[in-house]
Chains A and B, each alone.
Chain A
Amino acid sequence: MKNRNNLKFMAGPYMVWAIGFILIPLFIMFYFGLTDKNGMTSLANVLSIATPEHSKALSLSISLAVAATVICLLLGYPLAAILAHMKNSSGVIIFVFILPMWMNFLLRTLAWQTLLEKTGVINTALSALHLPTINIINTSHAIVLGMVYNFLPFMVLPLYNSLTKIDENVINAAADLGANAFQTFFKIILPLTVPGIMSGITMVFVPSLTTFVISKLLGGSKILLIGNVIEEQFTQAANWHLGSGLSIILMVFIVINMLITAIFDRDREGSLL
């Protein structure tokens, strides 16, 4: 520290750390994914995604993740807009985002079982009101609900950030030039919040696509997502090569997401935090 020129060496420990704990592990995962048990190079692990069982799990994962992302966007945009117009929204934001995180994520998700069960709170209330009951527990609908519940905040925050960045006079200018509320929204506000939308989409889609916990807790034991398949390879089947191979498939989606984020969200430090 005494010598200012030596300051740059202070980044050294982390650079070693990042290589050792971020890059090398990924490299090892790729190595496992692209070799068989005898250490021979093999594409079999990756290509096993084509088997009916795996491809079914992947396509189900994709469709549920897309559904969850779309629902999050549709629910989250109005909420973000309402919060952005609120004078002292910081307090509300803390209650929307921080506080629930301090209740364990597994317990929170499990609580939906209690709420959704055939004789659970929601159905008891519905039948008391002579309304049709909903039986979605242990179905893919419950999994989507769990995804939306857990990841909605990831959608709202980037949207909120990009909405508050819009100068109020830009919206006034649109009105001034003759645009009505709908035109102002679709021609001005929506395009200007595209970075927030993209960032929200990636932040909901990746964890939804790769989850194995939510499907386990709310989907019963019958529904397998790609995350469950991979997790089983590591914890039960001990087939690390196959698990790594399927993870490489996931990485393809994740890398696409990273690229999209990099393109649309140039100052993501602000929108993430």
Chain B
Amino acid sequence: MSKKLIELNNISKSYGSHIVLDEFDLYIKENEFVTLLGPSGCGKTTTLRIIGGFETPDTGNVLFDGTDITNMPPNKRQLNTVFQKYALFTHMNIEDNIAFGLKIKGKSDKYIRDKIEYALRLVNLEGFGKRMPDSLSGGQQQRVAIARAIVNEPKVLLLDEPLGALDLKLRQDMQYELIRLKEELGITFVYVTHDQEEALTMSDTIVVMNQGYIQQIGTPEDIYNEPENAFVADFIGDSNIIDGIMLQDELVMFLGAKFACVDTGFGTNKPVDVVIRPEDVILTPPERGVINGVVTHLIFKGVHYEMEVKAGGYEWLVHSTTMFPVGAEVGIQVDPFNIQIMNKPASEDEEAVPLEE
């Protein structure tokens, strides 16, 4: 098991009366691709800036490799950042941008030249060394920003929504690039994004955040298949989130029907949230459904049909390769394994629960 490289202990940060992070704990392991995922204002960027040294937390401390770096200025930290909108030095050419950190550290000319060459090759920008940042496309500027950071051989690379300004196709290409880079460099990536697809594609570990609290930490599969609360379920992909009652272990009732499930340990007759992914809803002829409904909308999406089915007073979102026309009466079945049961938050305030692993 690899060791903890960065530890955030009991971090709080507020701007005026606005609390951004509240007693926040997180550790990041060596050589991990960790993504901080959440809607804007959830505290993910602030967390990254605290790790980078651009913000000082009001309380708590930051440990790097066991050393307290809470008050260490950014220029002394062994990590580098790829900023939102790249933050390239527009008055320097690409080479000088990349060499900036190395020159500060007083490396030899030969070392710097080799490093520039290596970095440009790594990000597929050979021959661009003498160009100015303004003359490059967004995707190319992005690569320069990455090259500029990694030539310093940081133990950790922080990336703050680095793909946010790129168009969809480029964003997808860059996702693969980043995974490749991560593998070649063998260092820790801490990545901030609000894009769930990016997070699911690249990460070893995803930290879902909302309103300054961690909602769930887990692998992409965990987060997608077993969201721990309604926020995570709703934020990651489309979901049917339905009020239900856990009648007993492995049996839940919602929308007036009883469904078999695999969850245990919720007690009896306990109100719960039931999460069912749209692709896990099985549409059948009416006589075979656990509950029956009528198709109200139908859209062809390429890989599947997206349908809305009104059943038991709830508009089910359904993804299926089998088409049922609008108005058709259908039955609904769900594989017990695909029903995800979540505790209801005890009150509105605790909707965002600080979560210990």
Q: Which residues of chain A are near B85, meaning CB under 8 Å?
A: 167, 169
Contact B152 A167 (CB under 8 A): no
Contact A192 B91 (CB under 8 A): yes
Docked pose: A187 CA to B75 CA in angstroms? 14
Contact B101 A169 (CB under 8 A): no
0 or 1 for each of B150-164: is its CB under 8 Å from A? (1 = yes): 001000000000000
Interface-central residue, A177, A192, A194, by most chain B CB under 10 Å: A177
Q: Which residues of chain B are near A267, meaning CB under 8 Å?
A: none
Identify which of B73, B91, B104 contacts A177 (C-beta below 8 A). Answer: B104
Looking across the interface, which residue of chain B has its beta carbon closest to that of A175? B74
Contact A173 B152 (CB under 8 A): no
Contact A183 B83 (CB under 8 A): no
Judge if B54 is at the interface, Cβ distance under 8 Å. Answer: yes
Number of A residues, CB within 8 Å of B: 18
Contact A177 B83 (CB under 8 A): no
Docked pose: A169 CA to B75 CA in angstroms? 14
Docked pose: A23 CA to B88 CA in angstroms? 43
0 or 1 for each of B59-95: is its CB under 8 Å from A? (1 = yes): 0000000000000011111001101110111111000
Chain B interface, >50% SS class: loop
Q: Which residues of chain B are near A169, meaning CB under 8 Å?
A: 83-85, 87
Contact A192 B90 (CB under 8 A): yes
Judge if A178 is at the interface, Cβ distance under 8 Å. Answer: yes
Judge if A126 is at the interface, Cβ distance under 8 Å. Answer: no
Looking across the interface, which residue of chain B has its beta carbon closest to that of A194? B91
Contact B73 A183 (CB under 8 A): no
The B-contacting residues of A in range 151-176, CB under 8 angstroms, are 167, 169-170, 172-176
Contact A172 B87 (CB under 8 A): yes
Docked pose: A176 CA to B100 CA in angstroms? 11
Contact B87 A178 (CB under 8 A): no
Judge if B38 is at the interface, Cβ distance under 8 Å. Answer: no
The B-contacting residues of A in range 178-217, CB under 8 angstroms, are 178-180, 183, 187-188, 191-192, 194
Looking across the interface, which residue of chain A has its beta carbon closest to that of B87? A169
Number of B residues, CB within 8 Å of A: 26
Contact A178 B101 (CB under 8 A): yes
Docked pose: A138 CA to B148 CA in angstroms? 57
Q: Which residues of chain A are near B75, meaning CB under 8 Å?
A: 175-180
Shortest Cβ gap from A164 to chain B (Å): 15
Contact A174 B54 (CB under 8 A): no
Q: Which residues of chain B are near A176, meaning CB under 8 Å?
A: 52-54, 74-75, 77, 80-81, 149
Q: Which residues of chain A are near B110, meaning CB under 8 Å?
A: none
Contact A177 B101 (CB under 8 A): yes
Identify which of A172, A191, A192 contacts B74 (C-beta below 8 A). Answer: A172
Shortest Cβ gap from A174 to chain B (Å): 7
Docked pose: A183 CA to B84 CA in angstroms? 22
The B-contacting residues of A in range 222-243, CB under 8 angstroms, are none
Contact A170 B87 (CB under 8 A): yes
Contact A191 B101 (CB under 8 A): no
Contact B83 A178 (CB under 8 A): no
Judge if B301 is at the interface, Cβ distance under 8 Å. Answer: no
The A-contacting residues of B in range 144-190, CB under 8 angstroms, are 148-149, 152
Beyond A170-B88, A175-B53, A183-B104, list 18 extra A-B contacts (CB 8 Å). A169-B84, A172-B83, A172-B87, A173-B81, A173-B83, A173-B89, A173-B148, A174-B100, A176-B74, A176-B77, A176-B81, A176-B149, A177-B80, A177-B100, A177-B101, A178-B105, A179-B101, A187-B100
What residues of chain A have their CB less than 8 Å away from a CB belonging to chain B? 167, 169-170, 172-180, 183, 187-188, 191-192, 194
> 7 closest pairs, A vs B, by CB?
A177-B101, A169-B87, A175-B74, A169-B83, A178-B104, A173-B87, A191-B91
Q: List 12 A-B contacts (CB under 8 A).
A: A169-B85, A172-B52, A172-B83, A173-B81, A173-B88, A176-B81, A176-B149, A177-B75, A177-B100, A177-B148, A178-B75, A188-B89
